[in-house]
Amino acid sequence: MTDPLLALRPWEAPEVTSWGRLAANAVDRRSGALSLDGDWRFQLLPAPDAPVGGVWSTVYVPGAWTLQDTDDLPQYTNVRMPFAEFPPGSPAANPTGVHEREVDVPADWSGRRMVLQVGAAESVLLVHVDGRPVGISKDSHLAAEFDLTGVVRAGERFVLRLTVVKWSDASHIEDQDHWWHGGITRSVLLYATDPLHLADVTVRAGYDGALCVDCRVRDARGALPGGWHVSADLDGRPLAQDREFDRLNAEDERVSDFLGEARIRATVPEVRTWNAETPELYDLTVRLHRPDGTVADTSRHRVGFRDVEIAGRDLLVNGERVFVRGVNRHDFHPLTGRTVSPDDLRADLTLLKRFGFNAVRTSHYPADPALYDLADELGLYVVDEADVESHDHAHEIADDPRYLNAFVDRVSRMVLRDRNHPSVIVWSLGNESDYGANHDAAAGWVRRHDPSRPIQYEGAAKLDWAATDDASDIACPMYAPIEDCVAHALSGHQTRPLIQCEYSHAMGNSNGTLADHWAAIESTPGLQGGFIWEFWDHGILQRVSDGRPAGRAGAGLYDNGVTAPGHRWAYGGDFGETIHDGAFVADGVVFPDRTPKPALYEHREIAAPVRIECYRHEGIVLGNHQHFRGLEWLAGTWELSLADGRTLTAPAELPALRPGETAAVPLPFTVPRDGGEAWLTLRVTTAEDLPWAPRGTEMCVPQVRLRGPSVSWDVPVEGVVRVDDEGLLLHPLLTAGPTLCLWRAPTDNDELGGTAPRWRAWGLDALVRKAVSVRRDGGRVTVDAEYAGAAGVVRHRQVLTPVEGGILVGEEAELPEEFDDVARVGTVFETAAGLDLLEWFGQGPWESYPDRGAGAPVGHHALPVDALFTPYLRPQESGGRHGVRHFTLSAPDATGLAIELDEPRQVSVTRFRAEDLTAAAHHDELVPRPGCVVHLDAAHRGLGTASCGPDTSAAYLIRPGVHRWSWTLRVL
């Protein structure tokens, strides 16, 4: 007999979005449920209609089979679909996972309604109980529930089979920038309710303390009994019921029961309101009572009283215009793929809070339910995004009526699940799916059902940022140049808030000009922020020996962005797939192990809650840059750094400032007359333990310069400078003398933005040093050379002069007009082995570059050389430190080199030459050199975000002409 579920062929039928699936609701049933997580029997079939048979293996649920030693491995694509079929088609070779286990139904569930909940399955789910068909669901990122009351019995065992078809018509609207997996990726539960049960609960809690609780009630046995009622309490205090609706007499033909509705209204005096800075929550308990007064069902919710509205071109939370300091976030884990635990989610969100983020966009689908609970608790605004992205076939699908039900189904189910969370302030209709009638239909449903929140959709708003008649209440462009955003805000035509849904693409060594971007946002009315792309580098831990995912056994094999020997972070193409998009999946502000990248410190400083506004001779002006709270939750320490090596500290007493206020505080130090350049830093930490940060967690390090550098001169002395026949400096601690360098190992932005191909065409990666002339004038040596590329010649001069204790190197390079945008102009040399500690005065301690240095304060820093390098997933230029005035490279016995620079310069010290990094695809291919490779740059090009978005601004480009710099080399 043909299986009726297979007969529907749901993997190729877009009109079939579900069969036998219950309606979505906001009643949380996780408490008291029977967890079915664990090991399941498993078979991987070549196609959904292939027969089940043969040997069973085991997989862990929840978990993707693509990470559990099957023959179906992960695949990464960004825009392209991983198969050739056009919508709604799917490939004949269609991996299908059959998951099976026995389930023992508790004996005390007799007479109760029993429901199966499958948290998420990619991409089509077929449910069978003891071989009997139960239901179908699509949508890989929302739970599907099925009523099993009529097919299972309390106290008995049944066989549950969950069949997951990997590819389907639905895959065409799940074409998100992420790994493709297959499997059951969120928890599976079985729960029981009384036949008389809460079918749904809607909570609306306003900024003014007004509370409205709407309840829907059903009875699985048929018509609702007379006399049922609901009650509720808030933080344990009963709420009076203002009104009860009579049960409705309209029969629901699908489930043959009756629907009742009830409403409770109340006003909470002196209400504590919710916002991302002070996320005040109340505990609400709703009870459904039988006619005899006993409790039939209970639903618990955490309620935040807050309002969201758009007033003109401002998005307001509780009447306040807030800056949206957001990040895009996928559900991701390097061992389990899309499966994340509550502990994983808490670690994600606490890290974001510590680095100044106040918002998350759930790109590009509804997140695991626990994320919203945590966002409510910790304080994060959420743009909740529906599981709709048809990137490769966006134009065709947007108006395709075959996909109309899928669009509305996915958007509406997201809203029905998440509408009670105060953290959710905006609904998103999806991502990168063009714009058509299907979006308008989904938007119409949301506007009718939940008018309390705005809607956004980039595909609608990108047609005209100033429009007022599309499916977006917010202009939410992607990667718009900040100049264009400012121009729009100043044009007089802006009609709605402009908050970029994606900006500052964090691929590799990136996020250049982030501080410039935010300086424009904070100074331009009408601009309110945006969401960095993205949180994670989606590297999967891979065993190098066999090229397969490490899976759950990989726990503990990585730390601080570095994998254990024999393993590496895999990206597109590393699992043998022919269709892939390479390292484009590695574009987050954290590494796959959640280690922060240097760009996170940049964001932390840009989002600083307290800032030094200016320095006056009578003191320092501090400002509170929060929206809702004072500075009482913060503590501070003053730190004075002098160029001569001294650092002074003193406790800081932060003034009582309301949001937006400023105040002058006395200068905490009498600045010594000597010591040269002087910088004052306020190290701001949490003053008490918080749910997302222990006491003493550093929140920001605002800084101001109190005194500029003093002028010093190196006086020539009698001595001899030694050079070899090629005019290269000979020195006992140098294994390669200083030469000119215009090349850097291309960053992802350089490669994908098009600058690296130009550099190669000019021959900057293989300059030939020739036409060398050496002139001696007493102890001074002048070396003139030409560096020939494929498209021009650079003239370079070094003047080497003996000075007290060392050698002064004066340099000049003349770039021809052809070289109108190079990577760097500077010096590179290599040292002997054993110099393993770098100490410097400049920006640090983390990596910084000319257009990404706001988060690296000037001071005295020290790190082992091996800790200076940043292990971006694809090796590239990294490890630089900007604004370095002087540094030492020393051995354990304190011998080594000291370098003084004529002015603050870009410096890098690593174990790798640029060509080493350029040639490697992964870090396991790199072999550290025994000595140090040192770059001293007169100028270094900015990083930008051109892998997806604007390049660096003109101020950070290197132009043709004459560049001069000098430095002094001494022996410690």
d(CA 411, CA 896): 63
d(CA 183, CA 95): 10
The count of residues in the chain is 972
SS3 assignment, position 690: strand
Tokens coding 317: 């939370």
d(CA 12, CA 30): 32
SS3 assignment, position 442: helix
d(CA 901, CA 690): 43
Look up residue 59 and give its amino acid: V
Task: Give the closest residue to 313 by CA, choosing from 478, 453, 464, 493.
Answer: 493
Whose tokens are 């504590």? That residue is 272
Strand partners, 100: 41, 161
Look up residue 221 and give its amino acid: R
- Measure CA 452 to chain center: 27
d(CA 285, CA 292): 20
Task: Give the closest residue to 39 by CA, choosing from 65, 7, 16, 21.
Answer: 65
Tokens coding 288: 């459904």
Q: Is the dihedral of CA 548, 551, 553, 558 positive or negative?
A: positive
**Residues labelled as active-site residues:** 432, 502
**CA triple 404-409-413, angle to 5 deg:** 160
Q: What does the CA dihedral 290, 296, 301, 306 come to, rounded to 10 degrees?
A: -10
d(CA 937, CA 880): 10
Note whether 620 and 680 are within 8 A (CB).
yes
Maximum separation of any 2 CA atoms in the chain, in Å: 110
d(CA 905, CA 826): 10
**What angle, rounded to 10 degrees, do the helices at 342-354 and 369-378 form?**
40
d(CA 41, CA 60): 9
Strand partners, 682: 638
- Measure CA 508 to chain center: 13
Do the bridges between strand 619-624 and strand 610-616 make them parallel or antiparallel, or are there none, so unpaired?
antiparallel
End-to-end alpha carbon distance in the chain: 87
Look up residue 499 and give its amino acid: I
d(CA 163, CA 381): 36
Residue 674 CB neighbours (<10 A): 9
Residue 275 CB neighbours (<10 A): 25
Secondary structure of 860-917 in HEC code, one letter for each residue: EEEEEHHHCCCCCCCCCCCCEEEEEEEEEEECCCCCEEEEEEEEEEEEEEECCCHHHH
Q: Is the dihedral of CA 632, 633, 634, 635 positive or negative?
A: positive
- Measure CA 931 to chain center: 35
